[in-house]
A and B are shown apart, each in its own frame.
Chain A
Amino acid sequence: MIGKKKIKENEAVNYNEIPAHIRRRPYYIIAPGLIILIGIMIPFVTAIFLSFTNYSFRLPKWSFVGLRNWINMFTSKAFYHALSVTLRYGIFATAAEMLIGTGVALLLKKDTKYSRILKVLFTFPLMVAPAVAVLIWQLMTSNTVGVLEKFLNIFGIYNFPWAASHSTAMFTAIVIDAWVNTPFVILLVLAGIQSLPKSPFEAAAVDGASSWFTFKTLTFPMLKPFMYIALLFRLMAALQEFGIIYALTKGGPGDTLMNISLTGYINGFTYQKLASALPYLLVLWLLINKTAKFLVTRQRYLANQAAGK
């Protein structure tokens, strides 16, 4: 629809007939938003540009070094290790959150007083800053003074190392990530559940379908668009998770939790070797961008399908 004229199908639009201020309206409307965002586009370009230099805060002059930073990265063990950590953390954290989140949302489907109270309460972990969440969990899991440790002691489990051991650090980080972010998944899936049309379910109940059957053929497919959105946001965030891991162990023990974000930060900000850290972050950005593109396209398709378009 353009301006006040209704465009009939097959009717050619004569753009000369439409007043300019209406034709330009889309741009007016987008303009504020885009100006704000354009201002942020610059850093992307700058980052790409700087990755081809040896820019570092400590050198007064910088110069082009071509592909050196990139080659160094692709030939370093640290890069592939970081990639592996990034993917493992991203996939496992997201999977845990999706499974638990969807499960809890389904449990909350039935509208009881209990569920109504819990719905609100369950959003609270999301409101705690990740760095603070890490602190709380560190205190609770401390081998010497932690309340969780005292609890585990009842079952005869002593001195579980949590974030201090190579084998349990990733698990601990994922637990904390899940604690903070599962509410997000719950909210989205719950929104999806509550937007489901009632009639198919009533029909299924009349026909005597079992809950599992209903879930498999009705609920799940219709929830898919919502789950995709949750999956999208959580996966993209988990792949680049920085705050939680940095607060927890700064990437340790050893290099266990050194994902790409952390490697980039420590190399760039702690060691001040900025230009050599940028290729890492650009690769991360590329990875996230492509994955997001894929997921978004799928989601729009599914959403349109579900809406019967």
Chain B
Amino acid sequence: MKGKNLKRAFAIVISAAMVTGLAACGGGSGNSNNSSGSGSSSGSGSDQQTGSTGEFDWKAYEGTTIEIQMVQHTASEAMVTKLEEFEELTGIHVEYSITPESSYFDRVSTALASGSGSPDLFMSGAYQLWDYSSAGYVEDLNTYLDDASMISPDYDVADFVQSAINALKWSGVPGEAVGTGQQMGIPLAFEVYTMAYNTRAFAENGLEVPRTYDELLAVCDKLQKWNGENSYAVAVRGARDWGTIHPAYMSMYAAFGAKDFVLEGGKLVSAVNSPEAVEMTEFFVDMIKRGGSSSWAKYTWYDCGVDLGTGNAAIVMDADNNPVHQNWEGASEEAGNIAFAPLPVAKEGDPQISNYWTWSVAMNASSKNKGAAWYYIMYFTGKDFAKYATVEGNSLDPARTSIWESEEFQTLMKDQLGYIEAYEATIDNTTILFTPQPYFFETTTEWAATLQDIVAGKYSSAQEGMDQLKKKMDKAVEDIGGL
């Protein structure tokens, strides 16, 4: 008797497991939106799209629990310290996870794709949001920005740095530039691309800070090994991921007049093998060979910063908020010897073009706690938090104009020679230089891999490498468009 029952139970378990498994495949509806139970449950009083009660009330979503996925960043660290205050103010409990940047997007992509509504919120940059919003994972925050009852009285939307807010607005049409359309996220911090250099290196060698590409190459020759056998002239990123292309490389790429994609008859066609693109890539490769690190291909942003701080790199061309942290008093060996300048240009007087990156908070379209999630966004992109994060948490560059103009900020940046000037010289011509499209990860990762191959001499010429890259990029975006 016992045996029979056990066998039956066994069989039931197996069948149940199989059925569940097949159901998980979701006959035809891959992006399932109905999940039974997942991480974030909502307590009492969590409405979805409410807000029409007229008056704004911080405690409207009291008792809710929301979940946010964060990337390791000074802004996240600042957010974590203020979570308790947030909960006191709103009664909303926040569960968070912090992931190192190198694995962050893989984790978020998978979580969003499951459609379960978890996490309610996540940090992201603009590029990734093109990807996510094309797949329908991102909530349009205009819904809340346009609803007066959902905005706290001191939020002051106009105070945001315009380029930061605009960078996160997109219509969803591949090929159409950012600046209009859905608000995919609200910025926490942003960065522009400038040059940081070691004043000692230049003084000791009687050199001037390079203002043009030719001057830069000349400086590369002179400053290679300026501080010992392991030192070199210019540090730029080189790892096999999207992070290598978007800072200095893309800024200069656009300055040469090259584009990543062009629209031809409604279809996106890669333009990475155009004469301007190849010319720029040859210049970049030349710069690395003459003045770069011998292990350039493994460099990520903090490797560049560290090298500047230890006196191994004379110049870093990267985000402006990267080398800053080497320059606080006592932070590194070369602290105090670091200054900032805008990126070089083709010839003096040319516009200072730079790419743009912003870390923002975005909302999951499948979230079950959208109201509460919006309150989180409002609190942590508000003026008070922005000031705290910038002044006490070293989170740069602040996304609110009032912070830039504030006394505390000016005092904070007093020791960063040339930082604000370089920023102001650059910001006007700063925009997202990539063509918005949902396959960003693939196209830029392949770009980085191709760059590595070109530098290593795997191709007979930069032209050949970029031709190959064009083929890969075209294949990646082939199912877009054709309107």
Chain A interface (Cβ within 8 Å of chain B)? 20-21, 23-24, 27-28, 31, 35, 38-39, 42-43, 45-46, 49-50, 55-63, 138, 142-145, 149, 153, 158-159, 161-166, 247-255, 266, 269-273
B21 touches A45 (CB 8 A): yes
Q: A31 CA to B2 CA in the complex, in Å?
A: 14
Q: Of A24, A39, A164, which one neighbours B298 at CB under 8 angstroms? A: A164
Binds A, one of B265-273, B274-282, B452-460: B452-460
A52 to B305 Cα, complex, angstroms: 46
Bound together, the chains give a CA A248 to CA B241 distance in angstroms of 12
With A and B bound together, what is the CA distance between A20 and B17 in angstroms? Answer: 27
Nearest CB on B from A161, distance (A): 5
* Consensus secondary structure, chain B interface: helix
> What's the nearest-Cβ distance from chain A to residue B460, in Å?
15
Docked Cα-Cα span, A161 to B452, in Å, equals 14
List 25 interface pairs A-B (beta carbons < 8 Å), by A numbering: A20-B3, A38-B14, A45-B18, A46-B25, A56-B30, A58-B131, A58-B135, A59-B31, A61-B28, A143-B295, A144-B306, A158-B229, A163-B298, A164-B238, A164-B294, A164-B296, A164-B297, A249-B297, A252-B452, A254-B450, A254-B453, A266-B445, A270-B106, A271-B441, A273-B442
Highest count of chain B CB atoms <10 Å: which of A143, A252, A269: A252
**Contact residue among A50, A57, A144, A249 (Cβ-Cβ distance under 8 Å from B307):** A144
Q: Which residues of A contact B295 (CB under 8 A)?
A: 142-143, 159, 161-165
| A144 and B240 within 8 A (CB) | no
B122-165 CB mask vs A (1 if < 8 Å, else 0) is 00000000010011100000000000000000000000000000
Residues of A within 8 A of B6 (CB): 24, 27-28, 31
| A166 lies within 8 A of B456 (CB) | yes
Flag if A35 contacts B13 (CB, 8 Å). Answer: yes
Nearest-neighbor residue (CB-CB) of B100 within chain A:
A131
Contact A60 B449 (CB under 8 A): no
Q: Is B29 an interface residue (CB 8 A)?
A: yes
Instruction: Given the known inter-chain contacts A250-B241, A269-B106, please indicate yes or no for A166 contacting B458, CB distance below 8 A.
Output: yes
Query: Which B residues are CB-close (under 8 A) to A42?
Result: 17-18, 20-21
- Residue interface mask B437-448, A partner, CB < 8 A = 1: 011011001001
CA distance A164 to B456 in the complex (A): 10
How many angstroms from the CA of A269 to the CA of B453 in the assembled complex?
23
Q: Is the CB of B30 within 8 A of A165?
A: no
- Tell me whether B109 is interfacial, beta carbon within 8 Å: yes
Per the CB 8 Å criterion, the residue count for chain B at the interface is 61
Once bound together, how far apart are the Cα atoms of A298 and B443, in whole Å?
46
- Closest Cβ of chain B to A229, distance in Å, is 31
How far, in whole Å, are A57 and B10 apart by their CA atoms in the complex?
Answer: 33
In the complex, which residues of chain A have a beta carbon less than 8 angstroms from the beta carbon of B109?
A: 57, 269-270, 272
**Which residue in chain A gives the minimum CB-CB distance to B293?**
A143
In the complex, residue of chain A having the shortest beta-carbon distance to the beta carbon of B20: A42
* B310 lies within 8 A of chain A by Cβ: yes
Please state if A253 and B240 are interface contacts (CB–CB under 8 Å): yes
Are A253 and B456 interface neighbours, CB within 8 A? yes
A35, A45, A63, A247: the one within 8 Å of B28 (CB): A63
The chain A residue sitting closest to B107, CB to CB, is A269
- Alpha-carbon gap, A270 to B448, bound state (A): 14
Contact partner of B30 (CB less than 8 A), chosen from A61, A153, A161, is: A61
Q: Which residues of B contact A50 (CB under 8 A)?
A: 25
B312 interface residue (CB < 8 Å to A): yes
> Which residues on B sit within 8 Å (CB–CB) of A248?
298
Nearest chain B CB to A270 CB, angstrom units: 5
The residue that A270 contacts in the complex, of B14, B29, B445, with Cβ under 8 A, is B445
